[in-house]
Structure 1
């Protein structure tokens, strides 16, 4: 079996669902169930005995050690993290606690467990750390995409905390020999994405007739990766990745934020037109940019393709249409996660931002 941390979050829950579509190997799902952790994401598993959920904190080394001793997993896949840049700007302490201290605690438990395994099991064990392209900083318009050798230059508390965790994972391999793997992915999108992030936020606001907020001039550019493609890549790295190596995972889909929002509006115009027949693009509103907003991310994913044979199956056009369709078909899920606390957060982050006089 494998141990998955953060398995009730967006990417973690997609990974577990994807895992069971490919394998019968059991999963221990260890999640603290913070605001973004949602067991409803995994309701399709019902009482599936292959899925064992344990609520807990990765900072609790003793709890993790007990799980490892009891279940003896052959691998740890580490998703658990605070991951929203805007939240890291308002409250960086949680990001240091979870992403840095939590990863350290997990590594300590994993090292002690791995050290006590028999030779064959020690050789087969893997610790896969899921990270982000944001650790590399910001690119200019003509800069080459991020490669695994790109120097780190994080610009937000979130990306700095993930960079620190990446360095800890690397150090545990080079110092102790722990067989680690690190993946740095681009912006994920798809089902079960918590609606504070750009794509689900825009879909929800559009359907509710609310403004569609875009930071600055909307020209910040990201590489977009459909979440099921990311899950497939992680499975490949877990099977054949070389211990100590880093693999960048990208979608080969660079889009500006404005392009993404306009595409969402166009799909919604076709699939869920407004009652008054107005164009959803009319709801686009440009707002004051967030501090330290990186201008461009781009991933060079040739290493994972050349070494492990992985390449994304979805284009942005196919993946984004699937995503919109999923949100339209799962409005009950959206309403369930839009709690009072979530609505207060949206008001805190967007309510006091000065609106810019721009046209979409």
Structure 2
């Protein structure tokens, strides 16, 4: 029998990319999944009950926790954006820091045995300035999680997740779905120079890490990187995708071939590098996965090429 059988779990951000995959996994393990989003959702076979609550509201958050009485909490709800605009400071502060603090406050002193917060690879390291309002708010939430653990014994851990990709990404503007769908349509994706190095991690590997962190108390108090050992440039990632799309189109005879000309090679569209300006303070991303291996016994199981092939195949079937 699964150790999760009958465990009351609360998943915030359950309609998001990682959240939807996590909910399915937990349900398959036999957990009693309570999911929350800002708006009411239709019931699914994976969720025992959907709750509608704005976690930026401390009273609503406290009422949610009181109603569910969760044993394990996964906090993935987040205002995700890389926009560098002053107008994004307040929304990301409320959505990433305020919501996390409200949730941590609500579970303090209660029966919860594990709380797992989704952090970000974008959080600054070694005294760096945050690169965006999102990065600043995520870093602050990590600091508050550490405080709640140290002062009041809240069994909370933070998983600083790298750039997640895989089937079912709802945000079509993110790099992997954008490049994939553009190429499958025979359109040239417009990118930066592609020189930036980023750390990728497949969504099911991320779910593995969350399940391990929530399963016992060993992760409490830890901040762990969840990624892959070596970063890959955006250009190399896009070129790998282009090769996989070419293989997919050749194998299936599906897809739209672009006209030979500017931005195409052999009738197939290719990425256009330098068409978009790089964002300020975009830095190389790195993940130190050693602590996650020691604390959780976790390592990524999916290579970038294998994960991208599964992702392209998923999109190709739906186009």
Normalization by structure 2: what TM-score?
0.86
> What pairs up with 1:191-202 in 2 under 5 angstroms?
191-193=167-169, 194-202=171-179
**What is the alpha-carbon distance in structure 2 between the residues aligned to residue 71 and residue 185 of structure 1?**
26
2:35 paired residue number:
29
**What is the alpha-carbon distance in structure 1 between the residues aligned to residue 238 and residue 72 of structure 2?**
38
What is the SS of the residue equivalent to 1:181? strand
Instruction: Report the Cα offset of residue 49 of structure 1.
Output: 6.6
1:226 paired residue number:
202
Cα deviation 1:206-235 (Å, max 9, x = unaligned): 2334331212x2110011100000100111
Instruction: Report the Cα offset of residue 195 of structure 1.
Output: 0.8
1:275 is aligned, of 247, 257, 267, to: 257
1:104 aligns with 2:101: yes
2:252 paired residue number:
none
1:307 aligns with 2:295: yes
Aligned-residue CA RMSD (Å): 2.3
What is the SS of the residue equivalent to 1:171? helix
**What is the alpha-carbon distance in structure 2 between the residues aligned to residue 293 and residue 153 of structure 1?**
9
Cα deviation 1:220-277 (Å, max 9, x = unaligned): 0011100000100111111243321111111234210001111111111121254356
What is the SS of the residue equivalent to 1:310? coil
CA 1:202–1:293: 2 relative to 1, 3 Å: farther
2:19 paired residue number:
12
1:186 aligns with 2:192: no
What is the SS of the residue equivalent to 2:117? strand
Cα deviation 1:284-312 (Å, max 9, x = unaligned): 24234243242311111011112322111
Instruction: Report the Cα offset of residue 26 of structure 1.
Output: 1.1
Normalization by structure 1: what TM-score?
0.76
Higher helix share: 1
**What is the alpha-carbon distance in structure 2 between the residues aligned to residue 255 and residue 175 of structure 1?**
39
1:133 aligns with 2:115: no
CA 1:14–1:90: 2 relative to 1, 3 Å: farther
> What pairs up with 1:339-350 in 2 under 5 angstroms?
none
**What is the alpha-carbon distance in structure 1 between the residues aligned to residue 128 and residue 20 of structure 2?**
28
Instruction: Report the Cα offset of residue 20 of structure 1.
Output: 2.2
1:346 paired residue number:
none
Cα deviation 1:74-127 (Å, max 9, x = unaligned): 02110011122137676333211201112122222222xxx2x4xxx46xx222
How many residues align? The count is 298
What is the SS of the residue equivalent to 2:190? strand
- Which segments of 5 or more consecutive residues in structure 1 lack a partner in the other structure? 138-149, 332-360
1:329 aligns with 2:317: yes
2:3 paired residue number:
none
